Structure 1
């Protein structure tokens, strides 16, 4: 009877009840807990029970909607109780398609989360009081040191290495190989899918959220990882090319040839990463002058018209040699390109660049923008229209056209 009575709360925290057993182990027994979540600034057209259930079903199993949310008496946020798996990383955003087919990002606020030890990964205590703290913390610290020692150039539909809000990420020049890949994923991206191979290992590393996107690798070599990305929950798909171009001029030539002939299974296409090349003279500041020959191959590919550079907000130069004084050099090596079909499908997407404290490169973030609606524009009549020779004829013709409604 107690187990069937529904959700029980004490001190605004859920009380988890399970049948007693002589072999009780809390981590195995409790796999999920009911958590109240808030969806701030969610538009009212999505406040229906069915819409809210569909939204939160990507992160857990919906249980009930708050009565205030049902009545819509307070519209600051929508509140819903969700049964969530606590062993996985908890997302901070929900991505969904609005009525116009645009990808929207909805923030999530958790009213309460269970305490989880960062060392042994068990619930109910912190690493400070963990009985296994010496070994567990040692392993965790070692994994973090390995990750921090990685000169990560984060690109892709991505942010920095520890930002878990995006759908998929590409990490450039990671130097991660073998067991270090597993340690890195377990420490920072638990529950994410990843792709690495002997061809791109240590150079390009792609990770994604399997419940949001499906990734199909099409082509790879030492400088390029090309794939198709299907966005789950809709019929949108695009091709993504992640590049980490060689700093040798002759080796770079094959990359431009690959980009010119790459197979695009769907029309929208985005190319991004470390191009290690200069497209314009003003993309380089200080140091040795850049010759026209060094820019020739890159500019010839751009002249094909297959893609144009995406507007990028942030610093103009996204690489530095981190030297002091007169030895400092700045360059723009990391770029984002997209084709016309990408702009048609994702018209509000913009790129952001931001400096990182570990890497000598900025990381790139591709983010969905939002339409700003200012209301209905009033009709304005301009006197100059009346001076047109066919003004009277056009007005009379339109005046006598029959209208219904």
Structure 2
């Protein structure tokens, strides 16, 4: 089951972050990773090998000093990823799993400032299609409801959340259901000073919802960063129900089985008779 993961790692050079990322990639068969706040101005192949292992291609947006930065990585023997645009708050491209599926995936790192975050919505909008599967994932730095915040400073439906909701509605975008902890970020303080929020999420378009109804996000354990990694299994599908009938010899040893079969044959005979009369 192939998966993708987005994570605000708060520094891609941390050894513990690398160990955790490798564990996630192995356990969940991850083929695409979107890392946020890498804090890296330049990224080389050896650094990617050290971070996640050998056999991954990558593309990145450099950080501004020690702030920000986006790194996308994909398992080259399993998939390809062709970047169509890199901007200050996102990288978007086509991920192609040969003979299986093709997705348009955007890794997003929204600005904390409302007026700058508008560039994210405006930049993504041209790539939202109703006839191609799309995933937008990452840290949006924005809450949408009071239930997404716990701690001091109560949630207010200000201009930022309103613009984000408007972006979702006008482009027929939907949030995926999730498993795991409600809050994806914490300030790691204790007692009354502790704040927890849901800043990280995955968004899909209507095409994705209509073609796969059971896509579910998992909020993984928060380790080495103040953000949870969020993971999606791309192979989720409705369970197949076998319609074949197999007769077991042991059934013949039960006297009741004969009456059951007689009733079934009578019903079938009646249906066939009715069809014959209608067609006649």
**Deviation of 1:271 (Å):** 0.9
Match of 2:174 in 1: 308
- How far did residue 261 of structure 1 move? 2.6
1:216 and 1:277 mapped to 2: Cα distance? 28
Deviations 1:220-262 (A, max 9, x none): 2111111111112x15211101100011121112212223333
Secondary structure in structure 2 of the residue aligned to 1:205: strand
Tell whether 2:8 aligns with 1:147.
Answer: no
Query: Which residue of 323, 330, 342 corresponds with 2:196?
Result: 330
Match of 2:277 in 1: 400
Q: Say if 2:102 is the partner of 1:237.
A: yes
Residue 55 (structure 2) aligns with: 191
Aligned residue in 1 for 2:125: 260
Residue of structure 1 in register with 2:228 after alignment: 362
1:93-131 per-position Cα deviation (integer Å, ceiling 9, x unaligned): xx6xxxxxxx79xxxxxxxxxxxxxxxxxxxxxxxxxxx
Give the whole-Å Cα distance in 2 for the aligned partners of 1:306 and 1:330: 28
Whether the 8 Å contact between 1:199 and 1:222 is mirrored in structure 2 is: no
The CA deviation string for residues 15-74 of structure 1, in whole angstroms up to 9 with x for no partner, is xxxxxxxxxxxxxxxxxxxxxxxxxxxxxxxxxxxxxxxxxxxxxxxxxxxxxxxxxxxx
Equivalent-residue separation in structure 1 for 2:91 and 2:51 (angstroms) = 24
Shift of 1:213: 1.1
The CA distance in 1 between the partners of 2:207 and 2:33, in whole Å, is 22
Superposed CA offset, 1:341-382 (max 9, x none): 11344444321001222011110111133544565599xxxx
- CA RMSD of superposed structures (Å): 3.3
Alignment of 1:137-286 (within 5 A): 146-148=13-15, 160-164=21-25, 165-178=29-42, 182-186=46-50, 188-198=52-62, 203-232=69-98, 234=99, 236-262=101-127, 264=129, 267-286=132-151
Tell me, which stretches of 5 or more residues in structure 1 are unaligned?
Answer: 1-94, 96-102, 105-144, 153-158, 379-393
Give the TM-score normalised by structure 1: 0.52
Q: Assess, with a 3 A threshold, how the Cα gap between structure 1 residues 337 and 146 changes in structure 2: closer, same or farther.
A: closer
Matching residue of 1:4: none
Are the aligned partners of 2:21 and 2:52 in contact in 1 as well (CA < 8 Å)? no
2:200 is aligned with 1:353:
no
Residue 399 (structure 1) shift: 5.2
Render the CA deviation track for 1:303-328: whole Å, top value 9, x for unaligned.
21421001111111111110011000
Of residues 184, 189, 211 in structure 2, which corresponds to 1:318?
A: 184
Distance in 1, matches of 2:122 and 2:51, equals 38
* Deviation of the 1:264 alpha carbon: 4.9
Could you say what secondary structure the match of 2:24 adopts? coil
Looking at structure 2, the residues matched to 187 and 252 of structure 1 have their Cα atoms a distance apart, in angstroms, of: 29
Tell me how far apart the structure 1 counterparts of residues 240 and 278 of structure 2 sit (CA, whole Å). Answer: 32
More helix per residue: 1 or 2? 2
Quick one: distance in 1 between partners of 2:232 and 2:116?
28
Specify which structure has the bigger relative contact order, considering alpha-carbon pairs within 8 angstroms and separated by 6 or more residues. Answer: 2
289-298 or 260-269: bigger deviation: 260-269
Q: Distance in 2 between matches of 1:222 and 1:305?
A: 21
Larger C-alpha radius of gyration, 1 or 2?
1
- Deviation (angstroms), 1:286: 1.4
CA contact (8 A) 1:318 1:355 kept: no
- TM (normalized to structure 2)? 0.73
Pick closer, same or farther for the CA change 1:176–1:402 going to 2, 3 Å.
Answer: farther
- Number of residues of Structure 1 aligned to a counterpart in Structure 2: 239
The 8 Å contact of residues 189 and 195 in structure 2, kept in 1 or not, is answered as: yes
